Amino acid sequence: MSLDLNVVWYVLVGVLLTGYAILDGFDLGVGALHLFTKTDEERRLAINSIGPVWDGNEVWLVTGGGALFAAFPHVYATIFSGFYLALVLLLFGLIFRAVAIEFRSKQPMGWWRQMWDVSFSVSSIVSALLLGVALGNVAWGIPLAPDHEFAGTFLGLLHPYALLVGFTTVALFMMHGSIYLTLKTEGALHDKVRSWINNTIIFFIICYATTTMATLLYVPHMVAIFKDHPALFVVALANMLAVANIPREIYHGRDFNAFLSSCAAMAALMALFGLGMLPNLVYSNPNPDLSLTIYNAASSQKTLGIMLVIALIGVPLVLAYTASIYWVFRGKVKLEAHSY
Amino acid sequence: MDGLLLARIQFAWTVAFHYIFPPMTIGLGLLLVVMEGMYLKTKKPLYHAMTRFWVRVFGLIFAVGVASGIVMEFQFGTNWSTYSRYVGDVFGSALAAEGIFAFFLESGFLAILLFGWDKVSPRMHFFSTVMVSLGSMFSAVWIIVANSWQQTPAGFHVVGEGAMARAEVTDFWQVVFNPSTVDRLVHVLIAAFLTGSFFVLSVSAFYLLKKRHVEFAKASMRIALVLAITASLAQLVSGHSSAQVVAEHQPAKLAAFEGLYPETSEGAPLTLFGWVDEKEEKVKFGVAVPGLLSLLIHGNSGAPVTGLRSFRPEDRPPVNLVFQSYHAMVAIGMAILLLSLASALYWWRGKLFETRWLLWAWVGAVVLPHLANQLGWMSAEVGRQPWIVQGLLRTSEGLSKVVSAGETLTSLILFTLVYVLLFVLFIYLLDHKIKEGPVEAGPEKGGHRA
């Protein structure tokens, strides 16, 4: 396969979705763990640890969706209409999350805060689960018709492999979120969150190992490329080492390194997924010939070229101010007058 | 029920709800730049308290705007996937550009705006305010580019046949600067400035009437009134220019705006108000000024204007709905102008802050730009019907093939419930913030790092 515009855009969409997974991953994870914090102060600290950044993190999903629309319109059209009810649920999850973060601390009543705490946590878990289930379906394959349309049913999307990837995603985000929260907190809350990390890592590793086994056994097309090009096993190795490094860094009290390790593990996981999928964007199961690939689902070469110019101008800017924002809000979270 | 109708209702409902918020943030964002700029220049604590108060309100509006906006980004794929396949090559680029150039800028710097008061220098904070304001306007730019391309498509060619046909870009700049982009963008941005300034004026007038935060309210009012007067005058020019573009490129829409049926009318009348009988193809109970429409469009009261009978019935938009929404928008625009000019007069005579009826008028006037926004979009989008892309693809051809009417009905009911809840919460918290008011700056609390 040569490095043409279609491959470049496959990588770019992958980068946007990886950016989304790493960034929104930790704030979805913080949300998923939210109800384990008990006092109002702890909960406010948890929410404010993601306060300035969660909104920007979600933009990676919106822009990833936009890039998919522009570069691979058939994928955007097939997936979003085919996964209709699941996607509507995801949208409600994201709306409730946004609203819960924004509204929770605006009123002092206990029932008010408890209600939004529950919405925040449930919607975070549901959003992460649905994203994972969608990914699982794309990997497993969905029934596609010759006109690229989805030919399955909503219940058909809830098969065991897709659910397994869904749970793995929740576990991954919980692990990632607990590390982030450790990094951002101090004192008693820091120690408390730190004690969760062992559990979140174990939860993740169980899911991760199960998914890997299931993929090797039942989803051969996802591993074919690694059989043909054994050198690519390096990515799997890197992923393993990054995961293994997390408890080590936590043990030595190097929270930031643990967080970087977790980010690296997620990037490597997305790379494994991306390599496994190539050249397909949506695998057609049972009839692989009908799969949506980076060629039959793409926009014209002209548009891919124009979009590349837009990306080359825009992405460095985006990275520059994302980095600046994270730099400004570095360090431990504190409650202030303008906090959530 | 009919799946097409349900999908259209859902799109109209979700976009109408979403469109309450972006014009407020665009308008308020510009005012924040002015307020914080004045604080940096004068160092007066009043401007600092003012900026901090309106930033808090801005954050609330922004949050609901984002929550309802994600739905819009995905709805082309969920409910209009055939449209998405057809136009993805052209339309998708504009949405992706909006994400890359506008959303990251807005949401990134908003963090500093809301939470960075003690973390960055006052200059850096001001810079962030400018970036958020620019980001909100860039967002409008790309959305208007995408929507204007649906109205007056340009810079593309159609490739493939039948179900596999799709539009592909031939000239990106022609897509961006299609014939209606600039006029529509200017019209929408001015409307957003009106929405933001009327909001600030309404809250400030309320404080003055209640004799609370008086200095704060007067200063906010002065800043917002300058924008309101300028924008309401500019909108007169922009509206005129926009209508001329519609006349040139979408004659069926213009004919529906004006309820004009004859194939061509030399010396076409301007109907001030009336009721369009679509069966009998005429305006009833109407009052019209002969020749005025021709004069407004062509600068010559005898020039011919194309009417609805030049188009086959299946190519015409629903006339009365477009006619009424367009006329209501224009009428509200006039009321906005009148109120702004009257306030300018009272301000000049030094009686603005004492004239209670005028202040009460401002309290209620907050809804005027919102109504005009909604009605304006309604006439623009319903006037485009039956096309989803003018002259190229019919709305009925754009629908998702695999989404059942029942699924759309389900999502529509859910969206309705959630949005009603969101709106109630929004109003409740907005009311709470307004009643709480600004934190008055005492002498020792005047500094930036208060």
Among chain A residues, the shortest Cα distance to B423 is held by A99
- Residues in A touching B432 (Cβ below 8 Å): 106-107
Q: Is the minimum CB–CB distance between A78 and chain B shorter than 8 Å?
A: yes
Cα-based angle B232, B238, B243 (whole degrees, multiple of 5): 125
Q: Are the C-beta atoms of A25 and A124 separated by less than 8 Å?
A: no
Query: What is the distance between the alpha carbons of residues B224 and B195, in angstroms, rounded to a whole number?
Result: 10
Query: What is the distance between the alpha carbons of residues A67 and A79, in angstroms, rounded to a whole number?
Result: 14
**pLDDT (0 to 100) of residue B359:** 93
Q: Could you give the ipTM of this predicted complex?
A: 0.87
Q: Is the minimum CB–CB distance between A63 and chain B shorter than 8 Å?
A: yes
Query: What is the distance between the alpha carbons of residues B86 and B387, in angstroms, rounded to a whole number?
Result: 13
The two structure tokens encoding residue B233: 């005058």
Q: What is the DSSP string of A236-300?
A: HHHHHHHHHHHHHHHHTT-HHHHHHHHHHHHHHHHHHHHHHHTTEEE-BSS-GGG-EETTTT---
Query: What is the distance between the alpha carbons of residues B144 and B158, in angstroms, rounded to a whole number?
Result: 22
Q: Which of A44, A45, A63 to substitute to test the interface with B, most B CBs within 10 Å?
A: A63
**pLDDT (0 to 100) of residue B260:** 87
- Residues in A touching B99 (Cβ below 8 Å): 59, 62-63, 65-67
The two structure tokens encoding residue A41: 């102060």
Q: Which of A95, A310, A338 lies nearest to residue B100, judging by beta carbons?
A: A310
Asked whether the beta carbons of residue A318 and residue B97 sit closer than 8 angstroms, the reply is no
The two structure tokens encoding residue A256: 């930031």
Q: Which of A63, A95, A339 lies nearest to residue B103, judging by beta carbons?
A: A63
For A:100-129, CB contacts with B below 8 A are 101-103, 106-107
Distance from CA of B186 to the nearest CA of A (A): 24
Query: What is the distance between the alpha carbons of residues B381 and B387, in angstroms, rounded to a whole number?
Result: 9
Write down the pTM of the prediction: 0.91
Per-residue burial over A88-122, b = 16 or more CB atoms within 10 Å of its CB, e = otherwise: bbbbbbbbbbbbbbbbbbbeeeeeebeebbebbbb
Strands B166-169 and B156-159: antiparallel
Cα–Cα distances (Å) from B280 to A295, B275, B277, B287, in that order, read 53, 12, 6, 18
Query: What is the distance between the alpha carbons of residues B388 and B147, in angstroms, rounded to a whole number?
Result: 10
CB under 8 Å to B183, separation ≥6 — which residues? B238, B241, B242, B245
Q: Are the C-beta atoms of B170 and A302 separated by less than 8 Å?
A: yes
How many CA atoms within 13 Å lie on the side-chain side of B158? 11
Region class of B120: left (phi > 0), else alpha (psi between -120 and 50), else beta: beta
Q: Are the C-beta atoms of A265 and A243 separated by less than 8 Å?
A: yes
Q: Are the C-beta atoms of A61 and B69 separated by less than 8 Å?
A: no
Type of residue at B283: V
**pLDDT (0 to 100) of residue B118:** 85
Handedness of CA A260, A269, A62, A45 (dihedral sign): negative
Q: pLDDT tens digits, chain B, 450 residues: what are they?
A: 688 999 999 999 999 999 999 999 999 999 999 999 999 999 898 999 999 999 999 988 988 888 888 888 889 999 999 999 999 999 988 989 998 899 889 988 999 999 888 889 999 999 999 999 999 999 999 999 999 999 999 999 998 887 788 999 999 999 999 999 999 999 999 999 999 999 999 999 999 999 889 889 999 999 999 999 999 999 999 999 999 899 889 999 998 998 888 888 888 888 888 888 888 888 888 888 888 888 888 888 888 888 888 899 999 999 999 999 999 999 999 999 999 999 999 999 988 888 899 999 999 999 999 999 999 999 999 999 999 999 889 999 899 888 889 899 999 999 999 999 989 989 998 998 898 888 865 443 333 333
Query: What is the distance between the alpha carbons of residues A335 and A189, in angstroms, rounded to a whole number?
Result: 13
Query: What is the distance between the alpha carbons of residues A30 and A49, in angstroms, rounded to a whole number?
Result: 9
Q: Which of B48, B60, B61, B70 to substitute to test the interface with A, most A CBs within 10 Å?
A: B70
Nearest to residue A129, comparing CAs of A162, A97, A100, A152?
A162
How many pairs of residues across A and B have Cβ atoms under 8 Å apart?
Answer: 223
Among chain A residues, the shortest Cα distance to B436 is held by A106
Distance from CA of A258 to the nearest CA of B (A): 25
Which DSSP helix (H) or strand (E) runs through B273? strand B270-277
The alpha carbon of A327 is separated from its chain's Cα centroid by a whole number of angstroms, namely 22
Q: Which of B82, B93, B106, B110 to substitute to test the interface with A, most A CBs within 10 Å?
A: B93
DSSP SS3 for B281: coil
Query: What is the distance between the alpha carbons of residues B262 and B319, in angstroms, rounded to a whole number?
Result: 14
Q: What is the DSSP string of B80-104?
A: -HHHHHHHIIIIIHHHHHHIIIIIH
- Residues in A touching B49 (Cβ below 8 Å): none
